[in-house]
Structure 1
Amino acid sequence: MRSVITRALLLAAGLVTAVLLATAGFLAHSNASSSAAAADRQDVAVVAGVLAVSSDPDAVRGTIARTRAGAEGRLSVVLASGTRLGAGGGVPAASVSGAVVSVVPAAVPFPFGSVFLIAGVALAALGPALWLGHRPFTPVLAALRELSSSVGRRVRLRGPRELEELAASIDEASSRTAQLLAKEREMIADVSHRLRTPLAALRLDADAIGPGPVADRIRSAVSTLGHDVDRIIQALQPAEGESPGTCDVASVVEARMRFWSAHAADQGRVCEVDVGEPCRVALSPDALGAVVDALLENVFRHTPPAAPVGVSVVRHAGWVTLVVEDGGTGVADPSSALHRGSSGGGSTGLGLDIARAAAEATGGTIHLERGRLGGARVRLRFGEANSHHEPASPRAWRLWRGHP
């Protein structure tokens, strides 16, 4: 914007300078012509005064020689006797006692020196003129910079009325967009959780059917639905630059474990739950609930019905650690299991990917290890909301209690 204003000011200054030079040249030339004509009239008056007193050729000739026009050969006198004194030609300018005084107008050159002087002054004044020309646009430029740097936040600027109205319109549009996104996310969360619970129960029932083509088709359909639900849950991640809010990890885990503990009891599993003290992380309750559901679904899907499961939440040194472990056979290749689409065991790895994305959104990490129950242990470290935490903060000691 500043370059556009500079070009406009330079164009305007160029046009004004051109008009100024043309006008100054014309006026200087006209002034010089008027001065030369006045000097010629004065010379004619001097000669006419001598003629009024005497018609002596020598006296008149001497007077002509003393004038500027006469010295330049532009003034002549024709006496009543017909005698011509001085250079011939010219325009009759006066008639005295029968004598006629004539003068040739002087040739006035164009005043290039004056024009060049004016042009130099104009160039010297160009810098201050640009500086002064930019000053009225300073509030506009400041408002535009504020407007361009206000992505993701409300626009607060002071400037021209039109820009303030534009900022208000942008704020209104942003607020409306945020409301629409929030409603969309609420709808996605509602749909995902409505599908999660019956889908988990349906998967458990499908596993209990036993072998056969019909059972295989049911399990395939349930698996497809599970993948679709996982994709829906991933859409719960907040847009970039948008605050996801906070939630109490202990409350969310406790609420979700009511459902999973009931399923564990139906299968005869031992289910240990230790949520500890309240602790908040920068995730929405729906997003954290989706993480818990994804991890527990993996446990119930990939371990024997009698395998125990344990869930714990620990707050330590600015970190909140969620641990989900089981008594299954563990994971053969933990490093590859954390890569989306390559977890093995007939799984897409989407559940662990959802957990990883949620942990990293708070500045945390995910770890897949062998747990104290003998099977896999997924350890998620979430950065505690409104708390300082260093990346090298030590692990909570309770996570290692009983670990081989």
Structure 2
Amino acid sequence: MRSVITRALLLAAGLVTVAFLATAGFLVFTQAASEASSADQRDVAVVAAVLAVSADADDIRGTIARTAAGAEGRLSVVLADGTRLGAGGGSPVASVDGAVVSVVPAAVPFPFGTLSLVLGVAVVALGVAVWLGHRPFTSVLNALRVLASSAGRRVRLTGPQELEALAGSINAATERTSSLLAKEREMIADVSHRLRTPLAALRLDADAVGSGPVADRIRSAVSTLGHDVDRIIQALQPEEGSSASTCDVASVVEARMAFWSAHAANQGRMLEVDVGEPAWVPLAPDALGAVVDALLENVFRHTPVAAPVGVSVVRHAGWVTLVVEDGGTGVADPSSALHRGSSGGGSTGLGLDIARAAAEATGGTIHLERGRLGGARVRLRFGEANSHHSPASPRAWRLWRGHP
């Protein structure tokens, strides 16, 4: 901000300085030309005075030589008999008893010395003007520094009324956001704790089912759900000294597909999985596993039983792309599908929101498109861990090319 103010002051003061120098130069040059013309007029007057009392050529020649214009060869006299005395052939200036006095105008030298002095004064004045111009902005700059350094806490500043009003608005927005976050955390904690009782009952029922593939899947699902509830409750607690985690997308997807492959086989779905080479991203394994589960849960819940499913992982140019696509009917309202709380398909929309948040946490993007299987395709771009990659495109893309 200070540099912007400095440039503005320099521009304004510079324009004034240029106008001042141009005016001063014109006035100084005009004054010098006027003085030179006055000197020539005085020399002509001296010669004319001699002509008025004497017609002797030697007297007139001597008078011409003693004048500045005559010494420079710019003044001459043509007597009544046609005799020319002195050098020069300028325009006639005076006539005495038939004699004509002529003078060639002197060349006016450019006043470099005077203008150099004026230029020096102008530069000093320019610096003083910029220094003084900063003073009224001191309170504004201080207030802006306070605003810039007050992220996450209440802003207290004194300055222009407009900035004080802005600080009040920021404080109100911060308090409102903190209140909403607190209510959301309380709601999540309450729901999570309420889930513990039915989970305990489900565990008992799952143990009573007996053995077999179906029973094993039920017990695995109940165990996973219990683990997720515990993880949600732990995430609500403040973490101290936590360090950034990384995970291999290929490994996490393979691990989660062990569960979803059994589920697909039970429904008779065709499931294609292509994870490729290891690809590390700056996310915890549980967080990425929750993304995979959320996306596949959407597919299994909102597509026909026989609709095929495809999951793939591709690593390229510093990005890791996770694609989940299906052969369903697609997303009814793609414009709002990525908004939390609304999926356009009768669900809460939290699955896509979880995926979006995870991708953006790595600097990546989420894309919602029509896939090769005919239904929806969710394409997540994660920034690869410890790798340089160019900035991503707009973070949430909603691309829907219509039905084929």
For the pair 1:22 / 2:22, whether they are aligned, the reply is: yes
Q: TM-score, normalised by structure 1?
A: 0.54
Secondary structure of 1:76's counterpart equals strand
| 1:129-208 matched pairs, under 5 angstroms | 129-204=129-204, 206-207=206-207
Name stretches of at least 5 consecutive residues in structure 1 with no aligned partner. 241-338, 342-404
Q: Is the 8 A contact 2:21 2:118 kept in 1?
A: yes
CA distance in 2, matches of 1:210, 1:104: 126
1:49 maps to what in 2? 49
CA distance in 2, matches of 1:61, 1:239: 109
User: Please, which moves more after superposition, 38-47 or 9-18?
Assistant: 9-18
2:3 maps to what in 1? 3
CA distance in 1, matches of 2:12, 2:193: 66
2:226 maps to what in 1? 226
2:211 maps to what in 1? 212
CA distance in 2, matches of 1:166, 1:40: 71
One-letter code aligned to 1:112: F
| 1:22-70 deviation digits (Å, cap 9, x = unpaired) | 3322222111111000111111122222222333323322222222111
For these two proteins, the number of residue pairs brought into alignment is: 242
| 1:273-312 matched pairs, under 5 angstroms | none
CA deviation after TM superposition for structure 1 residue 5, in Å: 2.4
One-letter code aligned to 1:158: T
One-letter code aligned to 2:129: A
CA distance in 1, matches of 2:33, 2:63: 24
One-letter code aligned to 1:166: L
CA distance in 2, matches of 1:189, 1:178: 16
CA distance in 2, matches of 1:62, 1:215: 137
| 1:163-185 deviation digits (Å, cap 9, x = unpaired) | 23332332232223222212211
| 1:59-87 deviation digits (Å, cap 9, x = unpaired) | 32222222211121111111222222211
One-letter code aligned to 1:75: L
CA distance in 1, matches of 2:209, 2:188: 33
Change (3 A) 1:99 1:5: same
Secondary structure of 2:158's counterpart equals coil
Secondary structure of 1:48's counterpart equals helix
One-letter code aligned to 2:78: V
CA distance in 2, matches of 1:231, 1:133: 58
Change (3 A) 1:145 1:182: same
CA deviation after TM superposition for structure 1 residue 153, in Å: 1.2
One-letter code aligned to 2:161: R
Q: Is the 8 A contact 2:78 2:85 kept in 1?
A: yes
2:113 maps to what in 1? 113
CA distance in 2, matches of 1:204, 1:51: 140
Secondary structure of 1:152's counterpart equals coil
One-letter code aligned to 1:88: G
CA deviation after TM superposition for structure 1 residue 238, in Å: 5.6
CA deviation after TM superposition for structure 1 residue 227, in Å: 1.9
| 1:348-389 deviation digits (Å, cap 9, x = unpaired) | xxxxxxxxxxxxxxxxxxxxxxxxxxxxxxxxxxxxxxxxxx
CA deviation after TM superposition for structure 1 residue 206, in Å: 4.2
Q: Is the 8 A contact 2:88 2:104 kept in 1?
A: no
User: Please, which moves more after superposition, 61-70 or 104-113?
Assistant: 61-70
One-letter code aligned to 2:186: E
2:339 maps to what in 1? none
CA distance in 2, matches of 1:81, 1:26: 44
CA distance in 1, matches of 2:137, 2:37: 50
Change (3 A) 1:190 1:95: same
Change (3 A) 1:89 1:69: same
One-letter code aligned to 2:46: V
2:62 maps to what in 1? 62
% of aligned pairs identical? 77
1:81 maps to what in 2? 81
CA distance in 2, matches of 1:179, 1:19: 58
CA RMSD of aligned residues (A): 2.8
2:91 maps to what in 1? 91
| 1:81-134 deviation digits (Å, cap 9, x = unpaired) | 222221130111112222211111000111122222223333444543332222
CA distance in 2, matches of 1:126, 1:22: 15
One-letter code aligned to 1:168: G
Q: Is the 8 A contact 2:74 2:105 kept in 1?
A: yes
Q: Is the 8 A contact 1:52 1:97 kept in 2?
A: yes
CA deviation after TM superposition for structure 1 residue 210, in Å: 7.0
CA distance in 2, matches of 1:239, 1:171: 26
One-letter code aligned to 1:200: A
Change (3 A) 1:179 1:138: same
Q: Is the 8 A contact 1:25 1:110 kept in 2?
A: no
Q: Is the 8 A contact 1:51 1:60 kept in 2?
A: yes
Question: Which structure's CA Rg is the greater one?
Answer: 1
CA distance in 2, matches of 1:7, 1:174: 34
Q: TM-score, normalised by structure 2?
A: 0.54
CA distance in 2, matches of 1:204, 1:187: 27
CA distance in 1, matches of 2:239, 2:62: 104
CA distance in 1, matches of 2:123, 2:204: 87
CA deviation after TM superposition for structure 1 residue 205, in Å: 5.1
CA distance in 2, matches of 1:238, 1:187: 16
2:71 maps to what in 1? 71
2:243 maps to what in 1? none
For the pair 1:31 / 2:31, whether they are aligned, the reply is: yes
